[in-house]
Structure 1
């Protein structure tokens, strides 16, 4: 493995680029609460997430994303609706989703940065499109255990 020449730009990790896009989006919406998402941020997110970006927007538009916040720890877990009525997935936007696409495309093959549910949870959170429910921390643990069974 060769070192980069002095002064050369270091390769940008896709996850860091996505984090930067979301930080820009959040800052923009805080300064302009009723504005639409700027086209350059939409284009960047689409470039980073590919086909999952459009699918995530559909999930956000469909509504039903709930963010559960632990009363003591402040931990956040999302329930994101699936394609079929009644299907929901437990999601930690940056780290995990209970769907098959996460398992196969993100973890297994490394073909995607995140599944559509992870991206939808993150988008909905930044856009203020989630229902927020404060719950005891043991409720979050119980939700996770239900999905493991």
Structure 2
């Protein structure tokens, strides 16, 4: 994807964060822009946010990851800092075909963070090591 589109996406998320913090809602123009920039995964991501499917897992060493419960019931550990999700859609549409900016799980993590709707969970550094290494997808 073009780097200017990534810049537009980043600015859109900043605008959403500012507007949502002021009004506690997403105006129609921002919803339309989300759909235009992110495609069909935007509505799916917003649905995951509505369902409170996103948890920010953090540890005492300040490491953090986002766990997103997908519609299929599978838990995906997403990393917004390096823009990665282990789901098949991310591998196929983002990495392999370069057709999308992101998947619904990673976008849901970004949106829930921007909107302040992310559930928070503290884990030990040892538990975080297991999460980050992929030894477990669900937090304990």
Decide: shared fold, TM above 0.5.
Answer: yes
Distance in 2 (CA, whole Å) between partners of 1:147 and 1:101 is 20
Is 1:144 the counterpart of 2:132? The answer is: yes
Distance in 2 (CA, whole Å) between partners of 1:42 and 1:29 is 12
Match among 73, 84, 103 for residue 91 of structure 2: 103
Gaps of 5+ in 2: none
Higher Cα Rg: structure 1 or 2?
A: 1
TM-score (norm. length: structure 2): 0.84
Distance in 1 (CA, whole Å) between partners of 2:98 and 2:16 is 26
Distance in 1 (CA, whole Å) between partners of 2:19 and 2:70 is 29
Distance in 1 (CA, whole Å) between partners of 2:8 and 2:126 is 34
Is 1:27 the counterpart of 2:18? The answer is: yes
Is 1:114 the counterpart of 2:102? The answer is: yes
What does residue 8 of structure 1 align with? none
Is 1:62 the counterpart of 2:29? The answer is: no
For residues 16-52 of structure 1, give each alpha carbon's deviation from its aligned partner in whole angstroms, at most 9, with x where no partner exists: 111111111212233x1x4311222222111110011
TM-score (norm. length: structure 1): 0.80
What does residue 71 of structure 2 align with? 83
- Cα RMSD after superposing both structures: 2.0
What does residue 4 of structure 1 align with? none
Gaps of 5+ in 1: 1-10
Alignment of 1:5-24 (within 5 A): 13-24=4-15
For residues 36-88 of structure 1, give each alpha carbon's deviation from its aligned partner in whole angstroms, at most 9, with x where no partner exists: 11222222111110011111112112223110123222x32011012223x10
Query: How many residues matched?
Result: 134
